[in-house]
Amino acid sequence: MAKRFLFGFYDHGCHQDPGWALRNYIAFLSLRLKIEKIQFLCYREKRSELDLEKSLVGEASFPPPHGWDDSDYVPEAIGWEGEKPGDGRKEKKLKEINLESMSPERRDEEQQLMHLKLMGWRHFPVDLEKLSGIRCLLLGAGTLGCEVSRLLMTWGVRKLTVVDGGHVSMPDVLKQSLYVDDDCGVPRATAIVPHLKERCPAVDVEAIQMEIPAPGNPVSPSVLDDCERLQTLVASSDVVFLLTDTWESRWFPTLLCANENKMAITAALGHDSYLVMRHGAGPGTRRGNMDDVIAQIQNLSTEDALGRQRLGCCFCNDTTSLFNSVSDETVALPGLTSIVSGKAVELFARMLHHPEGIHAPGDMAGMDTEHQLGLLPHQMRGSLPRCDLSTVISNSSNNCTACSNIVLSEYRREGLNFVMQAINQPTYLKDLTGISNLIKSDTCLKLPASFPVNSGKLSSARCLLLGAGTLGCDVARILMDYGVRNLTIVDSGCVVVSNLARQSLYTTKDRKTPKATAILEHLKERCSSVEVEGIQMEIPMPGHPVSSKEAAGVLKACERLQELVAAHDAVFLLTDTRESRWLPTLLCANENKIAITAALGYDSYLAMRHGAGPGINSEGSDMVAAMNKLSAEDVLGRQRLGCYFCNDVIAPVDSVSNRTLDQQCTVTRPGLASIASGHAADLFTRLLNHPDGIHAPGDIAGTSSERPSGLLPHQMRGSLSQYSLLTLMGYSSSSCIACSNAVLREYRSRGLDFVMQVINEPTYLEDLTGLTELMKSADYSRVEWVDEVDDEDFADM
Ligand SMILES: [Zn+2]
Ligand SMILES: [Zn+2]
């Protein structure tokens, strides 16, 4: 028997819908009193008096859910049925909510995608649905395959198919970011799956152990099956990543992508240079009805379906022989992989968000673009020793061995017979396309291996990494790959779910573990000979005043940092706030230690080395003399290069408090951290191999260098949306808040008292260095960089 019941409550809400608390009251009353319909009154006040206009009267019903007879029954969650906010209905129907969307897995996934949503709120809308639905085929699960698959997950891609024919071997473990010691001997296709899953449980990943059939390679019995398999795989994917380490294994997939008009991204490493490109669309006419094949073949055109000249594939400008490159093993500089992978996924994401997708024309660096993600180039080529990055466009070639009409028409007519012939007869493709006589063009992929990696200097260098987040993980890993064996890592945070997609070393089992602890195991399982120590500690920061209770702890942290900087040869500043870099920068300048900064903006990054400390070091016995002789020059009598803060005119302030979530969180494009880390680690090894070390002057791109390791710039600033990479050089500033003589003198005479005062008094540093005066003076907006070459010169180099 249904009773009627009127329930009134004080409603704090002011909208035309009842306050949220009503749902809980209704559910409670219905269950307790076993009534389905309840009249309600939302009593609302305005200035302590009844507000008749805002108060609400209505009826709500709660149909008996399962388990309703049980006196202990409590629904998991409830909500209004068919409710849209603001529709102001007076008839409310309460409904038990399926908590599927609140399951831990679902919540984790939401957190992992948070950075993409933040990107969307602040910059441009990321099409999460498109990204999560797109089917990516990765050919190769080695050095590039590991990085690219991980970064694709960071971009929100959830459907991956990975093809690889090899096994994980010992030297791979350092280079191939996902594998650990235990994977040695296991097929890469088997090993990679759990490593991807433990970073992103929501990913749907299939791995296939298979060699990619390649022209000129000895024929294995399964080659025909493999060809058929690859045909099916390409046909069922939306985008194909060519990440194998030989050119010839890219031939068949390239042909298939051109034939099927699939997006294809090539990433290739030379010794110290790289190529990242997207292949052009397939020819204008697509394969339709099989009866029509002959007609289709006639209609193959050099234009794509939009009538544009097709962009080239990775074979279009490679007229060299495809054959026998297996023997020349590619040993790329360690930092190169992360740089290339970051750029490859960025190119993919941009193509996906471009309104014309695969048909988008190639942009050149320096162009204007209205596209929110920035330029969409066709090819990017870069070289580490030359510190350059160039964008290149090339149209499809009529002689191309993979995408030309002559090859595609042969393939469409003969199918796999044609492919088998190309595989078995080394000269067949050449004869067909007539490229035998063409002169080998200059590709960026063959350069001498002259850079000393794994030198004694690197293995004995003691490196202190401040920050074990996105940059910290990548830099630590890349440094080990360069041969560094002595690492100390400082971080105060714990691993949370949203880190997993971006911070390359952590897995789901590290949740809630301090990063300083979790990272140790992950580095060890990649390189058992590394000496690594983790320290959980907050780096004291200016502008974060401490209470008298906290003061002792902060002082202790300052002392600890002093000891740590003194005990290491190089310090990497990899934290995500500006102010946390201040004290380490000061300590490095004071101790004349190598300091490398990597910092990320939303779509730009900075990798720089700080200049040497002032001429006289505090190690001298006479402190007073040392303080008086502080100089703008270093011990070699060269003008000191600047530090991270030298181009700032504002002292670091608290950049964390008083910010909304999306401002607090460092939102950067996925892939950016990899690129910045690669450059930072590479800069360090270059510095270490330079005869002048920390005193080396800053090189500018475009100049020549006789050193085998190439140019050693002071700063590199890159932009993803503009595809630029600038080398900059700036001298130390006499009003720098971290390395100027005024600051160092104060620090040398007062030590940590001085530091504590800086921490507690936000404007003290500015007053000390005269920055306050500087700010007051007329139109002083920023310090100019000594940049000897025009920006444009870098853009299309
Ligand atoms: Zn081609
Ligand atoms: Zn400075």
Q: Could you tell me the CATH number of the domain that includes residue 743?
A: 3.40.50.720
Closest CA to 264 of 275, 247, 250: 250
Kindly list the protein residues that place their beta carbon closer than 5 angstroms to ligand 1, a single-atom ion: 313, 315-316, 400, 402-403
Given 77, 102, 127, which residue is the final one in a domain? 102
The answer to whether position 541 is within a domain reads yes
Confidence check: pLDDT of 363 > 70: yes
**Looking at the structure, do residues 128 and 90 belong to the same domain, yes or no?**
no
**What spacing in Å lies between the alpha carbon of 650 and ligand 2's midpoint?**
12
pLDDT of residue 217: 67
For the residues 382-390, what does the mean pLDDT come to?
85
Residues contacting 486, CB < 8 A, separation 6+: 459, 460, 461, 462, 463, 530, 531, 532
**Within-domain flag for 327:** yes
Contacts of 754 (CB under 8 A, 6+ apart): 746, 747
Measured between alpha carbons, how far is 508 from 506 in angstroms, rounded to an integer? 7
| pLDDT, tens only, 20-62 | 778 788 888 877 777 777 888 888 887 777 777 778 787 877 7
* Cβ-based burial of 479 (10 A; exposed 0-12, middle 13-18, buried ≥19): buried
**588, 616: one domain:** yes
- 300 C-beta neighbours (distance < 10 Å), count: 18
C-alpha 585 to ligand 2 mean position (Å): 8
Burial 489-500 (b: 16+ CB within 10 A, else e): bbbbebbebbbb
Mean pLDDT lowest among 70-79, 529-538, 589-598? 70-79
Confirm whether 698 is domain-assigned.
yes
Say how many Å lie between the CA of residue 149 and the centre of ligand 2: 39
254 and 336 share one domain = yes
Q: How far apart are CA 257 and CA 220, in angstroms?
A: 23
Q: Phi and psi (nearest 5°) for 777?
A: -65, 150
Q: Give me ligand 2 centre to Cα 640, in Å.
A: 9
Q: Residue 395 CA: which ligand is closest? A: 1
pLDDT digits (tens, 9 = 90+) for 546-585: 888 889 999 999 999 999 999 999 999 999 888 899 999 9
Q: Tokens 């990943």 — which residue? A: 205
More confident residue, 82 or 429: 429
What is the rounded average pLDDT of the residues 734-754?
Answer: 90
Q: What is the pLDDT of residue 444?
A: 34
In this structure, are 711 and 611 located in the same domain? yes
Q: What six digits make up the tokens of 336?
A: 């190169």
Q: Which of 46, 79, 102 is the C-terminal boundary of a domain?
A: 102
Residue numbers of the domain that contains 141: 111-437
Alpha carbons 293 and 300: distance in angstroms, whole number? 11
Could you identify the residue written with the tokens 């088998």? 420
With H, G, I as helix, E, B as strand and everything else as coil, classify residue 109: helix
Statement to judge: residues 427 and 503 lie in one domain: no
Amino acid at 544: H
User: What pLDDT is stored for residue 449 in this prediction?
Assistant: 42
Q: Whole-angstrom Cα distance, residue 643 to residue 585? A: 7
**Predicted local distance difference test score (pLDDT) of residue 400:** 85
Residue 735, helix vs strand vs coil:
coil
Residues 667-723 pLDDT 10s: 778 888 999 999 999 999 999 988 888 999 888 888 887 777 788 999 998 888 888
pLDDT digits (tens, 9 = 90+) for 319-335: 443 333 333 445 778 88
Compute, in angstroms, the gap from residue 176 CA to the centroid of ligand 1: 29
179 pLDDT higher than 90: yes
* 174 in any annotated domain: yes
Total domains, the chain: 3
Per-residue pLDDT tens digits for 441-475: 333 333 334 455 556 788 889 999 999 999 999 99
Residue 231 confidence class, pLDDT cut points 50, 70, 90: very high
pLDDT band of residue 296 (cuts 50, 70, 90) is: low
526 and 623 within one domain:
yes
Interval between CA 228 and ligand 1 midpoint (Å) = 21
Whether 451 is covered by a domain: the verdict is no
Q: DSSP 3-state assignment of 266?
A: strand
Tokens of 309: 């000249």
In a domain, 48, yes or no: yes
Domain shared by 98 and 124, yes or no = no
Asked whether residue 157 falls in the same domain as residue 43, the answer is no
Mean model confidence pLDDT for the chain: 80
Residue 780 has pLDDT above 50, yes or no: no
Inside any domain, residue 309: yes
Average pLDDT over residues 725-738: 87
Location of structure tokens 């994917």: 237
Domain final position from 102, 120, 137: 102
Q: What is the pLDDT of residue 548?
A: 86
On whether both 593 and 703 belong to a single domain, the answer is: yes
Mean of the pLDDT values across residues 297-316?
Answer: 76
Query: Is 618 in contact with 626 (CB distance < 8 Å)?
Result: yes
Judge whether 448 lies within some domain.
no
Active-site entry in 403, 588, 665, 739? 665
Which segments of 312-452 does DSSP mark as H helices, in order?
334-353, 405-414, 416-424, 428-433
| Cβ 113 vs Cβ 155: under 8 Å | no
Q: Tell me the CA–centroid distance for residue 354 and ligand 1, in Å.
A: 22
| 689 and 747 fall within a common domain | yes
- Cα–Cα distance, 397 to 549 (Å, whole number): 72
Contact call for residues 245 and 126 (beta carbons, < 8 A): no
Query: Are 53 and 130 found together in one domain?
Result: no
Average pLDDT over residues 270-274: 82
pLDDT for the residue 299: 62
pLDDT value for 619: 52
Catalytic residue flag (residue 444): no
Q: Decide: pTM greater than 0.85.
A: no
Neighbours of ion ligand 2 (CB under 5 A): 643, 645-646, 736, 738-739
Same-domain check for residues 506 and 424: no
